[in-house]
Structure 1
Amino acid sequence: MAQMKKNKVITADQAIALIRDNDVVTTTGFVQSCIPEALHAAIEKRFVETQQPKNLTLIMTAGAGDSKGLGTGRLHHDGLLGRVIAANFGRMPKVAEAARDNRIQGYNLPQGVISQLYRAAAAGQPGLFSKVGLHTYVDPRQGGGRVNEVTQQDIVDVVDVAGEEWLFYKATKIDVALIRGTSADPHGNISMEKEALTLDVLAQAMAARNNGGIVIAQVERIVDDGFLLPKDVRVPGILVDCVVLAEPEQHRMNYGVMHNPALAGQIRVPVGNMAKMPLDARKVIARRASFELPPNGVVNLGVGAPEGISAVANEERVTPYITLTTEAGAVGGVLASGSSFGAATNADCVIDQNQMFDFYDGGGLDMTCLGMAEADQHGNVNTSKFGGKLNGCGGFINISQNARTVVFAGTFTVGGLDVAIEDGRVVIKQEGRSRKFIKQVEQNTFSGPYAQTRGQPVLYVTERCVFELTPEGLELTEIAPGVDIHRDILAHMDFKPIIRRPKMMDPRIFLDEPMDLLSDLLNLKLCERISYDASRNMLFLNLEGWHCRTKEDIADLRKALVDACVAAGRRVNSVVNHDGFKISDSLYDDYAEMIEYLLEHHYATTTRYATNAFLRMKMQEALKRRGVSPHVFERKEEAHAFLEATAKAANRAKDEQKEEETAAA
């Protein structure tokens, strides 16, 4: 005989009593947001009073706590946890300390991998194939993500699939899922209308339910049957065993915000009057990084210094021309910072975290800007384990390996650093105690050599200089005004970078006034880079400092050049300055096609120069593939001499032809 659906609403203590010793428990939350605090508190209370449940395995993606004991930080008591599989340990420092001291087993895996493994577990699959983590500390050849000596079992393998290396991450079956929503009806249907993010709650619930486990959902209100519209239900009641009604203080949007409807997507608010960032080292870094923003592109910003890019983009009115995203699932709007990091004001939409990582891993990101704790001469970056602390990688590995362009951002040194921006110059009043640019990083969270093999552009932006990853290693390419290269840069590095012809960072960055960044990003002033000398029939194109990011940039340049050639009224001799010019590896052929078109329709001859040997080589290769004579020189004088010699030869040929025609007449 069929039974009526039961009321699933019970107390937190009753729900947590269902967790057994040795269970595998997964929980939700991102940094300080969307954390089921009442459930974590109930686990802590039960263990302190009864010493149960013991020896749990905790699986989580991003850190979920305030770094001071809340969130998963409550689970630090000896004996409560036996193993942790997490992307971030920094928000539960006592748990990280237990792992560091070999009191628990631990694995630090990429956030996106753990997020996607929930789906694999839900589908009954053995694990996940991914290239994320290759040539980092997650690679079994570099430790397999194990965080200490007591952790012996391998859960990551290197495998060959169709002649390519992949990592295979083994799925761990889940017994208990702790999730969070806004509203629940008595049968356990969960909606998330007041949450900032949806994260992985559906996949986590499926993973536990399909393994015969239990799903405990924390909500802030109980509604009647039939109140929730079907499309508003994010987790169906068939997956939920228990619903816990939390007290308001334990169901904050995040630890710093009780509730903000703009972060929940319930309202849209004006953002034009958002607080302006003070002109300090952090803003200088954000401003310089903002020059790498791809118009009409999709961008991810990391925590710390990179967060400032969102504010700079808003100040410079470029936000409508880019789409900012977070790995937590927010798409569009103005990214939030502080305790609300991961969410966005006026977001276009919020998708599940595992789906966002699908998008990232598949190459959907045009650019990312991430923090850096350490960088070495080979371009490797460490953000996961340094200074005796286990921080964890978070989503760093997924994002940095798969974005089309990577910008690492942070101060040059750390620990007591005092920097002022005065009269358009950087003034270092007190140097930081610890160096970031060292000979070899403590742990490899990003592999510079691996990025080079894939042609991935990588920049390292600080308040005093900029480095670029080249095949030979890190090259110093830009220096801030007021900075002495020996006193302020080389003296505070453990290695000497490649130094060719570093240029001055854009002076606009260091003035407390708008930079007109929009004109740069939209190529509104390209025509100002073109000049024509009618007496010599010479067209000069100055691309110094210009960044060709997309095919649209090439189209804009082509139009500007065609307009200038048409105005000249005849075929022109062209010389192009490529010093400081940057172009994405994937665009060399498109750029060469533009040159081929101009030679066919508008140029009599063309030549170019660039001090960057790698750029010259790549451009020569691209032009040769199209059957175009390269004529790419190292110095301006060589390019001009070639062009003038070619023009003279052409003129002589014309004169000789006229003489022949006259004689024949």
Structure 2
Amino acid sequence: MAFPKVLTADEAAALIPDGAVVTVSSSSGLGCPDSVLAALGRRFEASGHPRAITTLHPIAAGDMWGVKGIDHIARPGLLAKVLAGSYPSGPSSAEPPAIWKMITGNEIPAYNIPSGILFDMHREAAAKRPGVLTKIGMDTFADPARQGCAMNAAAAALPIVRRVEFDGEDWLYFKAIIPEVAIIRATTADERGNLSYEHEGGYLGPLDQALAVRNNGGIVIAQVKRLAQSGTLKPQHVLVPGILVDAIVVAPDQMQTTQTPYDPAISGEVFRPLSSFEVPEFGVSKVMARRVAQELRYGDAVNIGFGISANVPRILIEEGRHGDVTWMIEQGAVGGVPLLDFQFGCATNAEAIVSSPYQFTYFQGGGFDASLLSFLQIDRDGSVNVSRLGARPHVTAGAGGFVDITARARRIIFSGFFTAGAGLAIDNGALSITREGKVRKLVETAEHVSFSGRRAVAQGQDITYVTERCVMKLTDKGLLVTEIAPGVDLQRHVLDQAEFALLVAPDLRLMDGALFQEAPIGLDIGGPA
């Protein structure tokens, strides 16, 4: 192959042919090659080409806060099909992104494939193997017995996963998809196309995506922040070698992640003092985060997700227990302090950053100790919905790596409010419910099954649900209420607010009273005295 050419974004976009399968490396605003995607949209607007491309996004491309990502190409005629681990999301009051309008309007087939499986599909394509044989996603929306990853009727008519029998067992089979173009991102490219990631908050999966394209004779386009002289990058710092790269696009103003031009603490170039992290203000959400923290044990390796649980690392900082567990997020950070809000998916003070496909291999195999995750709905079986809700689906991003993470996790602690929209307050060390929520979250049947309670019971997984008013455990007979908050009436505030019958532990106890006081709780998770 020839050495890569340095092109403008518009010149790079001109390389993409009609009908191409294009894989894009991104996680919302993190690592998004936004300049190339914008140029692709401009090219189509000016010339009507490329037409009918299919795009693969192992994690979401773009967000609703300044990095448009997939919305640059969400145009009728340009985009023909999309397969993604997640999609841009935002508040229910916001105008839905263009990609969501295409999905809900049934304009294109759209699929929500668990992120780890989508990375696996790239690996299989790179090695020219037929596809992915997995039990990840069984009895969830990824299973053809439910939606089979389809997000609309157009996708349901073109199934991408089927159940097969192999060696006497049932498996899900995802056929490998051959990508013909990869659009990836890095910090620096040298003149030979070697890519380094020194300003990035995560690698994501560009190596796997580039391999899948290169091994199948396609084109790899790398957007970078800067160009360096050949031979100046240390070989240990190069993640994607230049032999895989065809074109380089320099975009000096690329965002590090959502609403963040550049923060050296996110890329591990400086370490922040623990005193610089704000701890959550006292309130109902903090009570729940504290109760989740009580489920941890010294030395645990713990995956963490968005929502209430995202504040648990700061609870440990406040309690003087930072470092007693090791946090992990699907974008690749291991250790340190996962960040919040727009920067979620990044961490500061990380001990390591690994490529997302390998992080997902770790999760899929259940090698970690616990996962802290959220819920939108819980149903009679203990199944959880996080991936789709109601008439405004853009409020949720899809499942991302949730299905990969929960499929074999040893322990999962889900957290969330018992009902949506309740009036809640902490009053004299007790929970006060001044107004009941209008929407029940413990429902007879979840709208979308992102986690299967039935499989969890069959596999012996340890599942806990923490809410503001009670704690529940998943048993083979149903959901069991084991703790109740001070100030809560069991019948009126808990049993009557679920659409199905809850079991009550004979030794039902009050949640720790210290959780409902402003002072630190003296968190005890074991470890050296």
* 1:322-401 correspondence to structure 2 within 5 Å: 322-390=325-393, 391-401=397-407
Q: Encode CA deviations 1:608-642: one digit per residue, 9 max, x unaligned.
A: xxxxxxxxxxxxxxxxxxxxxxxxxxxxxxxxxxx
Pick the aligned partner of 1:161 from 158, 163, 166.
Answer: 166
Match of 1:11 in 2: 8
Match of 2:186 in 1: 181
> AA paired with 2:17?
R
Match of 1:71 in 2: 69
Q: CA deviation at 1:479?
A: 0.9
In structure 2, distance between residues paired with 1:474 and 1:100: 34
Match of 2:30 in 1: 33
CA contact 2:272–2:349 (8 Å) conserved in 1: yes
Match of 1:624 in 2: none
In structure 1, distance between residues paired with 2:336 and 2:309: 16
Q: Encode CA deviations 1:118-145: one digit per residue, 9 max, x unaligned.
A: 1111111111121101111211222321
Over aligned residues, Cα RMSD in angstroms?
A: 1.7
CA contact 1:66–1:255 (8 Å) conserved in 2: yes
In structure 2, distance between residues paired with 1:12 and 1:73: 17
Match of 1:49 in 2: 46
Q: SS at 2:290's partner residue?
A: helix
In structure 1, distance between residues paired with 2:261 and 2:422: 34
Pick the aligned partner of 1:473 from 466, 478, 484.
Answer: 478
Pick the aligned partner of 2:105 from 92, 101, 118.
Answer: 101
Q: CA deviation at 1:470?
A: 0.8
Task: Please identify the structure whose Cα radius of gyration is greater.
Answer: 1
Moved more, 45-54 or 447-456: 45-54
In structure 2, distance between residues paired with 1:322 and 1:203: 30
> AA paired with 2:429?
G
Q: CA deviation at 1:256?
A: 1.8
Pick the aligned partner of 1:128 from 97, 107, 132.
Answer: 132
Q: SS at 1:319's partner residue?
A: coil
Pick the aligned partner of 2:294 from 280, 291, 296.
Answer: 291
In structure 1, distance between residues paired with 2:453 and 2:159: 25
Match of 1:266 in 2: 269
Q: CA deviation at 1:520?
A: 4.0
In structure 2, distance between residues paired with 1:7 and 1:158: 42
In structure 2, distance between residues paired with 1:351 and 1:6: 27
In structure 1, distance between residues paired with 2:415 and 2:46: 46
CA contact 1:294–1:366 (8 Å) conserved in 2: no
Match of 1:146 in 2: 150
In structure 1, distance between residues paired with 2:425 and 2:232: 57
CA contact 2:61–2:87 (8 Å) conserved in 1: no
Q: Encode CA deviations 1:240-263: one digit per residue, 9 max, x unaligned.
A: 111001141xx1111221111111
CA contact 1:365–1:402 (8 Å) conserved in 2: no
Q: Encode CA deviations 1:84-124: one digit per residue, 9 max, x unaligned.
A: 11111343843133222211001111111011221111111
> AA paired with 1:333?
G
* 1:528-539 correspondence to structure 2 within 5 Å: none
Q: SS at 1:141's partner residue?
A: coil
The answer to whether residue 305 in structure 2 is matched with residue 275 in structure 1 is no
CA contact 2:369–2:410 (8 Å) conserved in 1: yes
Match of 1:593 in 2: none
Match of 1:642 in 2: none
> Taking structure 1 as reference, are residues 187 and 412 closer, same or farther at Cα in structure 2, changes over 3 Å only?
same
Match of 1:497 in 2: 502
Q: CA deviation at 1:75?
A: 2.2
The answer to whether residue 454 in structure 2 is matched with residue 449 in structure 1 is yes
- TM-score, normalised by the number of residues in structure 1: 0.75
CA contact 1:280–1:419 (8 Å) conserved in 2: no
* 1:297-308 correspondence to structure 2 within 5 Å: 297-308=300-311
> AA paired with 1:509?
L
Q: CA deviation at 1:328?
A: 1.0
* 1:79-94 correspondence to structure 2 within 5 Å: 79-91=77-89, 93-94=97-98
Q: CA deviation at 1:197?
A: 0.4
Q: CA deviation at 1:512?
A: 0.9
Q: Encode CA deviations 1:463-510: one digit per residue, 9 max, x unaligned.
A: 111111111111111111111223322332212211233211111111
Pick the aligned partner of 2:413 from 407, 412, 416.
Answer: 407
Q: SS at 1:118's partner residue?
A: helix
Provide the identity percentage: 38
Q: Which has the higher contact order (CA 8 A, sep 6+)?
A: 2
Pick the aligned partner of 1:321 from 309, 321, 324.
Answer: 324
Match of 1:234 in 2: 239
CA contact 2:139–2:455 (8 Å) conserved in 1: yes
| Displacement over 6 Å in runs of 4+ | none
Match of 2:122 in 1: 118
The answer to whether residue 428 in structure 2 is matched with residue 423 in structure 1 is yes
Q: Encode CA deviations 1:51-72: one digit per residue, 9 max, x unaligned.
A: 2212111111222222367122
Q: SS at 1:296's partner residue?
A: coil
The answer to whether residue 195 in structure 2 is matched with residue 190 in structure 1 is yes
> Taking structure 1 as reference, are residues 112 and 389 closer, same or farther at Cα in structure 2, changes over 3 Å only?
farther
CA contact 2:28–2:88 (8 Å) conserved in 1: no
Q: Encode CA deviations 1:25-67: one digit per residue, 9 max, x unaligned.
A: 1111113311111112111212222222121111112222223
CA contact 2:4–2:246 (8 Å) conserved in 1: no
Q: Encode CA deviations 1:317-362: one digit per residue, 9 max, x unaligned.
A: 2222111000111101111111211111110110000000111111
In structure 1, distance between residues paired with 2:35 and 2:525: 49
CA contact 1:127–1:168 (8 Å) conserved in 2: yes
In structure 2, distance between residues paired with 1:52 and 1:516: 62
Q: CA deviation at 1:185?
A: 1.3
CA contact 1:279–1:421 (8 Å) conserved in 2: no
Q: SS at 1:320's partner residue?
A: coil
Q: SS at 2:265's partner residue?
A: coil
Gaps of 5+ in 1: 525-665
In structure 2, distance between residues paired with 1:90 and 1:452: 33
Q: SS at 1:132's partner residue?
A: coil
In structure 1, distance between residues paired with 2:528 and 2:485: 24
In structure 1, distance between residues paired with 2:300 and 2:242: 38
> AA paired with 2:87?
F
Corresponding residue pairs, total = 517
Which structure's residues are more often helix, by fraction?
1
Q: Encode CA deviations 1:430-462: one digit per residue, 9 max, x unaligned.
A: 333221111110111111111001111111111
In structure 2, distance between residues paired with 1:294 and 1:52: 55
CA contact 2:3–2:193 (8 Å) conserved in 1: no
> AA paired with 1:175?
E
In structure 2, distance between residues paired with 1:316 and 1:290: 10
Q: SS at 1:85's partner residue?
A: strand
Q: CA deviation at 1:377?
A: 1.5
Pick the aligned partner of 1:62 from 59, 84, 91.
Answer: 59
CA contact 1:31–1:341 (8 Å) conserved in 2: no
> AA paired with 1:304?
G
> Taking structure 1 as reference, are residues 36 and 417 closer, same or farther at Cα in structure 2, changes over 3 Å only?
farther
CA contact 1:300–1:368 (8 Å) conserved in 2: yes
In structure 2, distance between residues paired with 1:232 and 1:182: 11
